[in-house]
């Protein structure tokens, strides 16, 4: 297993039981060792508040604003930058055949 660089103690032993609120906070006292019960007071209003922040059905999905396009053509990993012809700043050399319009 590759080291992720972060502490993984709670999950490395196989025992970490907790109740997590809709905003990601641990509620109550987690169970870290052995058998037992985890008990916490729940505020069900937090669930409704969190659901209002989500667009689960995608009604506000706007493909004209956000989309994922995959170009499987081979591309050069090197992009050459040269001095601007009139001396102020720089410009990028682009392949005109592969230039696309972004909407």
Residue 45: half-sphere exposure toward Cβ, Cα within 13 Å: 0
Measure the CA–CA gap between 55 and 58, rounded to whole angstroms. 5
Domain ranges of the chain: 9-52
Measure the CA–CA gap between 47 and 45, rounded to whole angstroms. 5
Higher confidence at residue 34 or residue 87?
Answer: 34
pLDDT value at 53 more than 80:
no
pLDDT value at 100 more than 70:
no
Q: Which two tokens stand for residue 101?
A: 């319009």
> How high is the pLDDT of residue 103?
54
Q: Is 6 helix (H, G, I), strand (E, B) or coil?
A: coil
pLDDT value at 3 more than 70:
no
> How high is the pLDDT of residue 101?
56
Contact criterion met (CB below 8 Å) for 28 and 21: no
Contact criterion met (CB below 8 Å) for 28 and 40: yes
Beta-carbon contacts of 66 under 8 Å, excluding residues fewer than 6 positions away, are: none
Contact criterion met (CB below 8 Å) for 25 and 44: no
Q: Which two tokens stand for residue 89?
A: 């700043």
pLDDT value at 78 more than 70:
yes
């Amino acid at each position: 297993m590759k080291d992720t660089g972060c502490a993984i103690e709670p999950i490395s032993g196989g025992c970490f039981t907790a109740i997590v609120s809709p905003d990601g906070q641990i509620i109550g006292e987690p169970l870290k060792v052995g058998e037992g019960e985890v008990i916490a007071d729940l505020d069900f209003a937090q669930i409704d508040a969190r659901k209002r922040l989500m667009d689960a059905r995608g009604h506000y999905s706007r493909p004209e604003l956000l989309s994922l396009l995959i170009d499987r053509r081979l591309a050069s990993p090197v992009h050459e930058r040269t001095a601007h012809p009139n001396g102020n700043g720089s410009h990028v050399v682009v392949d005109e055949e592969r230039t696309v319009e972004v909407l």
